[in-house]
Structure 1
Amino acid sequence: MKDNILRYLRENELIAPGATLVCAVSGGKDSVCLLHMMLSLQDELQITVEAAHLNHRLRGAESDRDEAFVKSLCESLGVRLTVSRADVLSRCKQTGESVEEAARVLRYQFFESLGKPVATAHTQDDNLETVLLNLVRGTALRGLCGIPPKRGKIIRPMLCVSRAEVETYLEQHALSHVEDSTNASSLPLRNRLRHEVVPLLARENPKLSGSVFQMCEILREEDAYLDGAAASLLRLAKLPDGGWSCRTLRDAPDVLLLRAMRQLLSELSISKPSRAHVEALMRLVVGKDGSQSVTLPGGKILCRSYDKLAPDLRESPASFAPKKLSLDDETEIPELSLRVSCRFVKNFEKSMLSPCTFALRYDTIKAPKDLLIRPRKQGDEIRLPGGRKTLKKLFIDRKIPASQRALVPVVTDGARVLLVYPFAVSSEHGAQPGEAALLIQFMHEKEYIQKEDTQ
């Protein structure tokens, strides 16, 4: 196991000689193994090993027990330890994130604050669960690549070993650990996959986690190759006076053009574009010659003038005009290249939801026929599970630039804010399965490409 991890570290160039490596230690099996293993390798790697522990304060006395255990472990091993505490539940109330997501964000913020390379204890089994999670939720090639060995300053030296190998290592070295009681819960999807789905698959292939790990390594190479080819396509299409040649771009296969468009949007500081935005941009590139434009998140505009694709440097709309939402019809907001539909359903089902479709409980709305979609107003508030929050605070938490906040659609039934697209639905007005509801759908894809007068 030691030789396997050492080879994996060197093959992937995960840590440089002379570096100080911080091991993230929760006190569980994997992280205890990680710390002990990296200490045994520090002379060969010519590194210094430290440890860090974040107390998420989610399990009361059990969380404090974990912290005390890690302190004792590091003291016995002579390892420098950095400990911090996080208020996960407060973040959930502020942002509306799930407990798992809020904990993950705070954990990686803590790692970033250390200012050094950080090793986490992910194993082949964690990688397998991640791939299955992505499959269940729906994914493209990148989601099948699993957990990368390195991302920024975060490295995963133990991705090449299984959980069973970790347990054997702990037994051989008489290493103790603590158990997280929530790992036995069947509520998180990851746990259900671990306890129910993986054992069934492992009956067909006892080396399942290793097989999936090898698949991920192959797919990562192919994914990196496609990224490189897409970057080359963008360089080839670059015009001397700025912008890109649509003729060059549209000659590429769709799979390559899709990646190139994502990279182009990244160059424009749009890091997580929706599929609808990317496909609208592709249609702009491959469409008939002429003048067209695509409106992107944040009001940025890409224009096509015959063969040339380039950003429109004109100012985007500062706001938009309020519109009454028509029941069982569509309302157009031209400033945002957006259409909004509103329809009544007698029995709401969760399958009706999507990232752009929201359900409001019908009997809590004062005047369903008088719903308004408008920009935010000073003093606007929305009720979230953790209490009331001003829209100003919501936008700050979501890191929406002040210049773009008046472009965020707000749905109201008078004075009350029911929905802030795409960030939040009022906890007072969100529909539950089986209830009568109003389905509000925001549609970009057909309205993003706008013909311009070329006369």
Structure 2
Amino acid sequence: MLTKVRDYILHQHLIEPGETVQVGVSGGADSVCLLYVLSQLRSDLQFELEAVHVNHNLRSTAHRDEDFTSGICREWGIPCRIVSVDVMSRRQRERRGVEEAARQLRYEAFAESSAQKTALAHHMQDQAETVLMNLIRGSGTKGLAGMLPKNGNVIRPLLCCSKREIIGYMQDHGLQWVEDETNQDVEFTRNRIRHQLIRMIEEQWNPNFCVSASHAAAMLQQDEEFLSSMARAQYQRLKRERGVLLLEMTELPPALASRVARLFLEDVGHGRDIGFSHIQAILDMADKPSGSKINLPGGLTLERSYDILQCYQESGDLEDGWAYPIESIPCEIDVPENKLKIRLRFVKSIKNTNICEKLYTKWIDYDTIKDTLQVRTRRPGDYISAAGGRKKLKDYFIDEKIPRSERDRIPLLADGSHILWIIGYRLSDGCKIGEETKRVLEIDAEFPGAYI
């Protein structure tokens, strides 16, 4: 088994020479076996080893497991860090299940280490359980591919081993471990799958089911990585500053289109709790008219704006808009609603100087201002001067195909109802510098992109 794990580590590039690997050790057979195997390989593969034990404080025997883990680490000369967590408080505070709360706290404890890799003791039976659990939940290829040998800095060197191999190795080397009695509690979903569903499959259909499921997961991982790499390339081609090209996305093969849609949601920070029905609803937007919306988990709203699929968070905070009056010049105004900073100053002389035409810096004729300047969001009656006349701000937004979801978030430099500058878009003709200009006002906008 030692040679098998060593070859697996090298083949999957799990550990590089010079790295420090922390092992999550519960005190059970799997994690103790992993710690021992890695302790035998650390000299050959040239890495440092440490252990971390997370006490979930869920059982009366929890301190027994903690003491056992500390003891074997002292015996084997391996540094050990003990972390005590309060699973029930996290569960109640965030309304999570016990398993999910415990898992979250474990990974937070792992992240406190400076080790380059965190090794976990998942094996073939754990992989089979994961595949079945995801299948029951209705997962796609990614879920059916199970746990990866390497996922970021988390590695699983025992995924190539069966539970039988692990127990046999422990017994052959006279290694001790402690039993977690909750592993027999079928109240937990994973335990029901392990003790009831897998047992039935092995007894009635395939005694080597866990091995078969692990091999199937490994093949699906290869397929998933290939399709994901293609999807990432397509997403980079189709994404735009304020969304993704909807029609071109839906014209892709379904396997790519669904992945591009998910990448879009992940890119805007809303990939969690998104299932098959949500992805299908996104792709169906191609058959809906511009302005159509769908609501997704977490208060997320997607809107079709012409050929662009937009994403934004529904919020009542912006319904009434905001406004910041400009009472004196020079000045600097912070707009926390969209992380905008506006600076205004007078330009002393424009002789022999080119008029500033940068996207986020504009010069205007100060003497054209008739009312109090404001930086604000839009209001009824707003207009911009263009082509010798007035144009409603709403009509400008429509002509420029600016999504409705963004129109209430775009900052404006306003002189009463006259919009001098749609920041990041257009300057009004009514305030441009001309031959008669005497006073020039410079407006500089910093980071005006975060409208959503």
**TM-score class normalised by the smaller sequence:** 0.5 to 0.7
SS of the aligned residue for 1:114 comes to coil
Give CA deviations for 1:16-53 in whole Å, capped at 9, x if unaligned.
11001111111110111001100111112110111111
User: What residue in structure 2 maps to residue 171 of structure 1?
Assistant: 171
Aligned CA distance change for structure 1 residues 318 and 161 (closer, same or farther; 3 Å) = same
Alpha-carbon separation, structure 1, partners of 2:200 and 2:255: 34
Q: Distance in 2 between matches of 1:243 and 1:40?
A: 51
1:231 maps to which residue? 232
Rounded Cα–Cα distance in structure 2 between residues aligned with 1:192 and 1:225: 33
Corresponding residue number in structure 1 for 2:114: 115
CA spacing shift, 1:245–1:100, aligned 2, 3 Å: closer
* Structure 1 counterpart of 2:213: 212
Query: Residues 18 and 88 from structure 1, CA distance in 2 versus in 1: closer, same or farther, beyond 3 angstroms?
Result: same
TM-score (norm 2): 0.65
Q: Within 2, Cα distance between the matches of 1:96 and 1:167?
A: 36
For residues 84 and 207 of structure 2, the distance between their equivalents in structure 1, rounded to whole angstroms, comes to: 39
Unaligned runs of 5+ in 1: 322-401, 404-449
Kindly provide the CA deviation profile for residues 248-275 of structure 1, in whole angstroms up to 9, marking residues without a partner as x.
Answer: 2232123321111110111112231534
Q: Counterparts of 1:365-376 in structure 2 under 5 Å?
A: none
> Could you tell me the TM-score, scaled by structure 1's length?
0.65
Aligned residue in 2 for 1:280: 281
Mapped partners of 1:225, 1:47: distance in 2:
31
Change (3 A) 1:74 1:216: same
Alignment of 1:36-75 (within 5 A): 36-60=36-60, 62-75=61-74
Instruction: Report the AA paired with residue 272 of structure 2.
Output: K
The residue identity in structure 2 corresponding to 1:215 is A
Q: Deviations over 1:163-204 (max 9, x none)?
A: 100111111111011111112222222222222222222233
Q: CA deviation at 1:150?
A: 1.8
Q: Percent of counterpart pairs with the same letter? A: 35
| Distance change (3 Å), C-alpha of 1:197 and 1:84 | same
Specify whether residues 34 and 298 from structure 1 end up closer, same or farther in structure 2 by C-alpha distance, changes over 3 A only. closer
Paired residue for 1:85? 84
- In structure 2, stretches of 5+ residues that fail to align are 321-335, 338-402, 406-452
Mapped contact 1:289–1:307 kept (Cα < 8 A): no
The structure with the largest alpha-carbon Rg is 2
- Counterparts of 2:65 and 2:298 in 1: how far apart (Å)? 43
* Residues 1:14 and 1:280: Cα distance change in structure 2 (over 3 Å): same
**How far has the Cα of 1:300 moved from its partner?**
5.9
Aligned to 1:436: none
> 2:262 corresponds to which residue?
262
SS in 1 for 2:82: strand
Say which SS state the counterpart of residue 26 (structure 1) adopts. coil
Structure 2 Cα separation of the partners of residues 30 and 47 of structure 1: 21
Pairwise CA distance, 1:215? 0.3
Instruction: Give the Cα separation in 1 of the matches to 2:249 and 2:6.
Output: 43
Letter in 1 for 2:152: G
In the TM superposition, residue 154 of structure 1 has moved relative to its aligned partner by: 1.4
Aligned with 1:23: secondary structure?
strand
Whether the aligned pair in 2 keeps the contact of 1:25 and 1:32 (CA below 8 Å) is yes
How many correspondences in the alignment?
323
Matches within 5 A, 1:237-386: 237-238=238-239, 243-272=243-272, 274-275=274-275, 277-284=278-285, 286-287=286-287, 290-294=290-294, 302-310=302-310, 317-318=316-317
Partner of 1:388: none
Supply the distance in 1 between the matched residues of 2:133 and 2:42 (Cα, whole angstroms): 34
**Pair 1:215–1:173, CA change in 2 (3 A):** same
Say whether 1:184 aligns with 2:191. no
- For residues 91 and 31 of structure 2, the distance between their equivalents in structure 1, rounded to whole angstroms, comes to 26
> Could you tell me how far apart the structure 2 residues matched to 1:137 and 1:300 are?
22
Tell me how far 1:99 sits from its aligned partner.
1.7
Runs of 4+ in 1 over 6 A off after TM superposition: none
Q: Go from structure 1 to structure 2 and tell me whether the alpha carbon gap of 1:163 and 1:258 turns closer, same or farther (over 3 Å shift).
A: same
Q: Is the 8 A contact 1:300 1:316 kept in 2?
A: no
Distance 1:296 1:213, change over 3 A: closer
Letter in 2 for 1:75: R
Equivalent residue number for residue 194 of structure 1? 194
Name the residue aligned to 1:102: 101
Using the alignment, how far apart are the partners of 1:186 and 1:303 within structure 2? 44
Q: Within 2, Cα distance between the matches of 1:158 and 1:66?
A: 21
The whole-number CA distance in structure 1 between the counterparts of 2:311 and 2:129 is 41
CA separation in 1, counterparts of 2:57 and 2:103?
Answer: 13
Change over 3 Å in CA distance of 1:279–1:176 after alignment to 2: same
Match of 1:129 in 2: 129
Query: Is the CA contact (8 Å cut-off) linking 1:293 and 1:451 kept in structure 2?
Result: no
The match for 2:150 is 150
Give distance in 1, aligned partners of 2:254 and 2:260.
10
Superposed CA RMSD = 2.9
Work out whether 1:32 is the aligned partner of 2:32: yes
* 2:21–2:119 CA contact under 8 A, matched in 1: yes
Whole-angstrom CA distance in 2 between matches of 1:290 and 1:104: 42
- The amino acid that maps onto 1:146 is G
Q: Distance in 2 between matches of 1:259 and 1:64?
A: 45
What's the offset of the Cα at 1:222?
1.1
287 and 69 in structure 1: CA distance in 2 versus 1, 3 angstrom threshold: same
| Structure 2 counterpart of 1:4, one-letter code | K
What CA distance in whole angstroms lies between the structure 2 residues aligned with 1:235 and 1:271? Answer: 17
Secondary structure of the structure 1 residue equivalent to 2:316: coil
SS of corresponding position for 2:317: coil
Q: Distance in 2 between matches of 1:94 and 1:136?
A: 28
Counterpart of 1:53 in 2: which secondary structure?
Answer: strand
Deviation at 1:75, TM superposition (A): 0.8
Quick check: 2:305–2:404 contact (8 Å CA) kept in 1? no
Relative to structure 1, the CA distance from residue 14 to residue 290 in structure 2 (aligned partners, 3 Å threshold; closer, same or farther) is same
Are the structure 2 counterparts of residues 45 and 311 from structure 1 closer, same or farther at C-alpha, using a change threshold of 3 Å? same
Distance 1:99 1:306 in 2: 45
Q: CA deviation at 1:120?
A: 0.8
Alpha-carbon contact 2:119-2:154 (below 8 Å) kept: yes
- 8 Å Cα contact 1:128/1:209 also seen in 2: yes
Once residues 93 and 316 of structure 1 are traced to their aligned partners in structure 2, the CA distance between those partners, rounded to angstroms, is 26
Counterparts in 2 of 1:246 and 1:194: CA distance versus 1, 3 Å: closer
Counterparts of 1:157 and 1:54 in 2: how far apart (Å)? Answer: 20
* 8 A Cα contact 1:291 1:451, kept in partner: yes
Q: Given that residues 129 and 190 in structure 2 are in contact (C-alpha distance below 8 angstroms), is that contact kept between their aligned partners in structure 1?
A: yes
Amino acid at match of 1:38: L
Distance 2:5 2:39 in 1: 13
